[in-house]
A and B are shown apart, each in its own frame.
Chain A
């Protein structure tokens, strides 16, 4: 799946996906849930919480 495909599926721009991947932007719980759901995984499996 490309960044564009993921962006289209979760309803955000490709730039937002790039920023999340780079760690420049922390997504909201709703967006994190949508991304995790797209991959069929839980939020904890997709995102790593950094204290």
Chain B
């Protein structure tokens, strides 16, 4: 898989501009809530770091080669998918345990929120499972 640096640069510049605008509108001009300022700053920093990475990919062939292997190595991809799968598995178990604890403590609001999250996650899982079984 080749790296589309032009597309990446364009995307990160857009994120940089949006982040910067949100920060200026919130923290400097005070037009919008401070939440958006924080989000804007986070986007700005992320985009800046990514743009530095793109610059390094353009200038250093060794780094580009190493990066390409890190992104496309099939074992790393397998490990990443396995980690995601385990993260989902454990998060569902933790949510179930927390629901039992909150129900026992009569904290129904938390139980309701967790129930929605729990059911939502399982629903997405089952939909994806059947869609992927048909298409993969």
| Chain B interface main SS type | helix
The total of chain B residues at the interface (CB under 8 A) is 9
Number of A-B contacts (CB under 8 A): 26
A12 at the interface (CB under 8 A from B): yes
Interface residues on A, range: 10 to 19
| Given A16-B75, A31-B74; 17 other pairs, CB 8 A cutoff | A7-B69, A11-B68, A11-B69, A11-B73, A12-B73, A12-B74, A12-B75, A13-B70, A13-B76, A16-B73, A16-B76, A19-B75, A25-B75, A25-B78, A27-B74, A28-B74, A30-B74
Chain A interface residues toward B at CB < 8 A? 7, 11-13, 15-16, 19, 25, 27-28, 30-31
Chain B interface residues toward A at CB < 8 A? 68-70, 72-76, 78
